[in-house]
Structure 1
């Protein structure tokens, strides 16, 4: 036995060791001062869960590479590609060459709302988890909270603002989207080790920056929705099945401002957390690749359908791309 008296108080604590049959008596003024001892089995379980979560998040770096390769293949061969490829890859404006065998792989694009609903639930759970740890990280909590506002807004837009017409997406997009919005809050929470402590100025700057990006993205969403607004002088059939040229705001310079704002939002969240590589970096890399490729495909569609309008605009970044 080992005695370490502090002052006139002596407290004894029994710590069980699985591989050693011994007692350690520790002296302290308060029991709360003693370190919490986690059993080896519990520690193994916690490490396994953390490792599994990390591997799930890191998959999105691989997905980013795959999306770039698939987009390059599509842009090179387009309608010459097999039907299964088109039905699994294309969504929105780009429609696959009709093949009844693969129609089962198509879902309404309005189901985007389920992405954000799942994201709201998973992010709320992760905020609760972060708030219950011994020392909650303010920066992580703030990033989760800001991301939650983004998800709530997008859910509102997909239910009450956006008009999808007959646009569709593939089962592949749907499954990947659900997985993505389950994983993002895990990545934010898992970045707490590298997360920095921002001062009032940094927190205020990030909050206003992300709020401005969300407002800008909402403006674009309403502009696109107004193109299909009933009573705009267009036949209902035309509103649901045809596409119209967006004008005003950022559409004066680029064809896909909503994709640009999405990239900027995730980059802002990353800056709020840290400037170092962290678990959330895999998510940002995926968003970067996905939005750039989506802009590439969408801009090429505009070039085919509205060549005069598209040739005066860039796809994503003015004077760059």
Structure 2
């Protein structure tokens, strides 16, 4: 009877609530994403010849997926690749709201909002400990806000859309990514754990300056790469707009002289720059690791597509990291 009561207690609401609060769900989700990408990348890169078509259609999106005969039931789950812009609309709106709340907290000394602290407790555990000061938090949020607004601008006015598609699973992952990233940024504020603790600002440290320099270099490099990509896409004869079908050319110049995906390398450095600024924040280390794994995997898939599509593709060019990968 006592044993039965013990088992029943596991399922009561208080015990369940305690279990939920013990887990950092944002970190857990990103770790699951990393494992999934590593496993999926291994299957595609090593066992592509025997991998099921539905799996290849799931992993390959955009121009990479156009070379396969699509499985009809996977096609039902596809959405336009140009919906990538939705991530940046959503992320820009969300980070704007969070910045307003953060500004009230850090600059005006207003007590932390209870519902924010509660959400962070459930998403990142109440035991979150951060060695990040208020100055670093403000700088990191300003930089990432600029990154979000810039990516939104590039998706609206620089990149050229096509008829390419992606699986709805990847579309959902995009939203989860930006929610997780912005929650992680917010959780870096240690004062949210204590509504009576007022933020203290310090002069910009060496780490912050290093992060700012890396960030500026990364966004300039990424913008240049995206403009080069956009200039290569041509409309096929017979189509009246650029959304139906495109002709792809081999990218050259800039970072493309060294790697196939310099824009993805730049994306990695954007997150690495904030790693310097938010030094000591475990959550951001996990976010950065996830971004590195994901961008490297996508870059390798793109690199393979380039080599298969362009027979004169430069042999010296790597996928994402010069002389290495």
Shorter-chain TM-score tier: 0.7 to 0.9
Structure-1 residue corresponding to 2:152:
155
Alpha-carbon distance, 1:283 to partner: 1.0
Structure 2: gaps of 5 or more residues? 1-13, 111-132, 192-199
Which of 269, 272, 280 lines up with 1:267 in the alignment?
Answer: 272
Alpha-carbon distance, 1:316 to partner: 1.1
RMSD: 2.9
Structure 1: gaps of 5 or more residues? 1-43
Inter-partner Cα distance in structure 2 for 1:169 and 1:236? 25
Which of 297, 305, 320 lines up with 1:316 in the alignment?
Answer: 320
The answer to whether the aligner puts 1:291 opposite 2:261 as a matched pair is no
Which of 155, 171, 175 lines up with 1:178 in the alignment?
Answer: 175
Structure-1 residue corresponding to 2:83:
111
**Partner deviation per Cα, 1:155-175 (whole Å, 9 max, x = no partner):** 111111111322211101100
Inter-partner Cα distance in structure 1 for 2:25 and 2:297? 24
Higher relative contact order (CA 8 A, sep 6+): 2
Per the alignment, in what secondary structure is the counterpart of residue 166 of structure 2? strand
Structure-2 residue corresponding to 1:94:
64
Q: Assess if the C-alpha contact under 8 Å between 1:213 and 1:265 holds in 2.
A: yes
Inter-partner Cα distance in structure 1 for 2:322 and 2:202? 32
246-255 or 157-166, which moves further after superposition? 157-166
Per the alignment, in what secondary structure is the counterpart of residue 107 of structure 1? strand
How many pairs align?
Answer: 271
Structure-1 residue corresponding to 2:46:
76
Q: Assess if the C-alpha contact under 8 Å between 1:79 and 1:97 holds in 2.
A: no
The answer to whether the aligner puts 1:192 opposite 2:189 as a matched pair is yes
Q: Larger Rg: 1 or 2?
A: 1
Structure-2 residue corresponding to 1:167:
164
**Partner deviation per Cα, 1:2-52 (whole Å, 9 max, x = no partner):** xxxxxxxxxxxxxxxxxxxxxxxxxxxxxxxxxxxxxxxxxx9xx98x948
Alpha-carbon distance, 1:129 to partner: 2.7
Alpha-carbon distance, 1:121 to partner: 1.7
Counterparts of residues 5-24 of structure 1 (less than 5 Å) = none
Q: Assess if the C-alpha contact under 8 Å between 1:115 and 1:178 holds in 2.
A: yes
Change in Cα spacing, 1:189 to 1:236, as seen in structure 2 (3 Å) is farther
When normalised by structure 2's length, the TM-score is 0.75
